[in-house]
């Protein structure tokens, strides 16, 4: 029995749509089919014909009405996301693994899109892939833009100029992680000085940490940089982002996630997030510790589902342990008016890591439907 209702009310006077203002026309489904069903017969021909491919690997379309409608929605997302993009250059290649996945073929890489299958998220992902893999920082003001990106994994290197072989190795490494990890470079001595970077040196910034780690043994080869990033990419505190949310969620630690909900735009949420950062900075040496921060503002559609699944009020900050196999969870009891201190939070995290606090002690697991 829903207390909320959506209505469609036909207005029977068919007045012409008074839309004098121009400039914000959103792409809508226009009746043209731009998504092509690929099978073993037309596969090769399509691969030859198009310079860029975005591919959804799916099961044969089921016949129940409900599943067909789901499939139709996915297809429409792809169509809307593709409709407005015509003249970009990509090249195709092969190699598919997971059912239900979206792959992008760009030059000699196959990049899996492991994010939310929504038109805007997918298009933003594609747009990010079209940008240069390395952004160049030219002055102090641009450096401030770099400083503000504390949520992201970032690397920055100081090189002689664009022709430097070490810059080139850095750029090749950047391509391996685009668009998930951000690579920056500077050729300016003044910028390098402010970053305390020596020539050919590369610094790695973990999200929310104040100090970077320098990649050892400069100048670095592409392989050294790739290996370093691969080893260090799981952060102590990482933000769940629509563009790689499933990848992050699948990268659990021993079957659990420590999950913190905090709305950055909300004073309470901001306060709690600052506390989390403090705890993360103090404990970044603990390799078994990884906290996933979720800003509810980024996932309005999941909010009611999470509230129901985790049985918590997400209009205030929360931290808990989630078992990723059954979504069973246990949450730290907090008073909204009186957030825990950093010490209390660290004690709780220690209890989680030692197993003293765990989801198995919480047996209340009724899985009723959401209506």
Applying the rule CB under 8 A, the residues between 185 and 244 that interact with a copy of itself are: none
DSSP bridge pairs for 106: 109
Helix axes 65-83, 119-130, angle to 10 degrees: 40
Whole-number minimum distance, CB 213 to a copy of itself, in Å? 22
Q: Within 13 Å, how many C-alpha atoms sit on residue 117's CB side?
A: 18
What does the alpha-carbon distance between residue 173 and residue 225 come to, in Å, rounded to a whole number?
6
CA dihedral 214, 286, 344, 153 (to 10 degrees): 40
Residue with the two structure tokens 């950055």: 264
* Closest CA relative to residue 346, chosen from 271, 265, 278, 247: 278
Whichever of 195 and 226 has its CB closer to a copy of itself, that residue is 195
Among residues 107, 165, 304, 341, the one that binds a copy of itself under rule CB under 8 A: 304
Query: Quick check: 123 binds a copy of itself (CB under 8 A)?
Result: yes
**Which residue in the block uniquely carries the two structure tokens 């400069």?**
218
From the list 160-168, 194-202, 296-304, 356-364, the region that binds a copy of itself by CB under 8 A is 296-304
Residue closer to a copy of itself (CB basis): 118 or 221:
118
CA atoms within 13 A on the CB side of 308: 11
Residue 75 or 350 with smaller CB distance to a copy of itself: 75
Please give the Cα distance from 185 to 178 (Å, whole number): 15
Question: Minimum distance between the CB of residue 212 and a copy of itself, rounded to whole angstroms?
Answer: 17
Q: Residue 306 Cβ, how far from a copy of itself at the closest point, in Å? A: 8
How many whole angstroms separate alpha carbon 340 and alpha carbon 335? 8
Polymer length of the chain:
371
Stretch in the footprint of a copy of itself (CB under 8 A) among 134-142, 199-207, 212-220, 230-238: 134-142
β-sheet with 256-261: strand ranges across:
237-239, 291-294, 256-261, 318-323, 329-331
* Cβ distance to a copy of itself smaller for residue 108 or 217: 108
Least Å distance, CB 6 to a copy of itself, is: 5
Question: Which whole-number Å values give the CA distances from 58 to 39, 96, 123, 150, 338, in the listed order?
Answer: 11, 11, 20, 36, 49
Tokens 């297809």: give the residue.
75
Q: Least distance (Å) from a copy of itself to the CB of residue 68? A: 10
Region of 39-47, 171-179, 278-286, 348-356 interacting with a copy of itself (CB under 8 A): 39-47
CA angle 227, 160, 106 (to 5 degrees): 50
Kindly state whether residue 2 participates in binding a copy of itself, applying the rule CB under 8 A.
Answer: yes
Least distance from a copy of itself to the Cβ atom of residue 217, Å: 28
Total number of residues that touch a copy of itself (CB under 8 A): 132
Q: Which of residues 249-278 bind a copy of itself (CB under 8 A)?
A: 249-250, 252, 257, 259, 264-271, 274
Q: Rank residues 221 and 309 by Cβ distance to a copy of itself and give the closer one.
A: 309
Kindly tell me which of 52 and 213 has the beta carbon lying closer to a copy of itself.
52
> Between residue 54 and residue 113, which ones bind a copy of itself under the rule CB under 8 A?
54-61, 65-66, 69-70, 73, 75-76, 78-82, 84-90, 96, 99-100
Query: Taking CB under 8 A as the rule, does residue 12 contact a copy of itself?
Result: yes
357: left (phi over 0), alpha (psi -120 to 50) or beta: beta
Return d(Cα 371, Cα 33) in angstroms, integer.
36
Beta carbon nearer to a copy of itself, 337 or 354:
337
Closest CB 304 distance from a copy of itself, rounded Å: 4
H/E stretch holding 110? strand 109-113
Kindly tell me which residue out of 113, 146, 170, 205 binds a copy of itself, with binding defined by CB under 8 A: 146
- Nearest distance in Å: CB 227, a copy of itself: 27
Stretch binding a copy of itself (CB under 8 A), from 135-143, 155-163, 200-208, 356-364: 135-143
Beta carbon of residue 326, minimum distance to a copy of itself (angstroms, whole number): 6
């Amino acid at each position: 029995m829903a207390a909320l209702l959506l209505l469609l009310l036909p207005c029977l006077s068919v007045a012409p749509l008074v839309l004098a203002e121009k400039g914000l026309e959103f792409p809508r489904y226009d009746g043209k089919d731009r998504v092509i069903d690929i099978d073993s017969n037309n596969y090769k021909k399509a691969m030859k014909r198009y310079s860029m491919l975005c591919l959804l690997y799916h099961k044969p379309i089921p016949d129940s009405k409900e599943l067909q409608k789901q499939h139709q929605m996915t297809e429409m997302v792809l169509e809307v996301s593709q409709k407005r993009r015509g003249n970009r250059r990509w090249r195709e290649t092969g190699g598919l693994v997971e059912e239900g996945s979206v792959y992008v073929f760009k030059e000699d890489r196959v990049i899996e899109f492991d994010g939310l299958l929504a038109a805007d998220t997918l298009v933003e992902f594609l747009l990010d892939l079209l940008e240069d893999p390395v952004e160049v920082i030219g002055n102090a003001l641009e450096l401030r833009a770099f400083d503000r990106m504390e949520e992201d994994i970032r690397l920055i290197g100081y090189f002689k100029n664009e022709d430097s072989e070490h810059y080139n190795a850095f750029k090749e490494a950047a391509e391996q992680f685009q668009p998930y990890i951000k690579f920056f470079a500077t050729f300016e001595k003044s910028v390098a000085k402010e970053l305390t970077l020596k020539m050919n040196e590369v610094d790695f910034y973990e999200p929310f940490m104040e100090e970077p780690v320098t990649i050892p043994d400069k100048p670095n080869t592409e392989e050294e940089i790739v290996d370093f990033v691969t080893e260090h990419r799981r952060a102590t505190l990482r933000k769940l982002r629509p563009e790689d949310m499933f990848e992050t969620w699948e990268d659990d630690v021993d079957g659990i996630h420590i999950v913190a909900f905090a709305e950055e735009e909300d004073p309470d949420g901001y306060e709690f997030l600052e506390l989390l950062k403090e705890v993360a900075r103090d404990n970044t040496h603990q390799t078994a510790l990884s906290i996933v921060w979720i800003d509810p503002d980024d996932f309005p559609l999941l909010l009611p589902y999470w509230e129901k699944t985790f049985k918590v009020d997400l209009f205030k900050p929360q931290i808990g342990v989630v078992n990723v196999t059954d979504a069973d969870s246990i949450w730290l009891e907090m008073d909204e008016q009186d957030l825990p201190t950093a010490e209390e939070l660290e004690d709780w995290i220690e209890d989680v890591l030692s197993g003293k606090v765990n989801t198995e002690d919480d047996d209340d697991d009724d899985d009723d439907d959401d209506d």
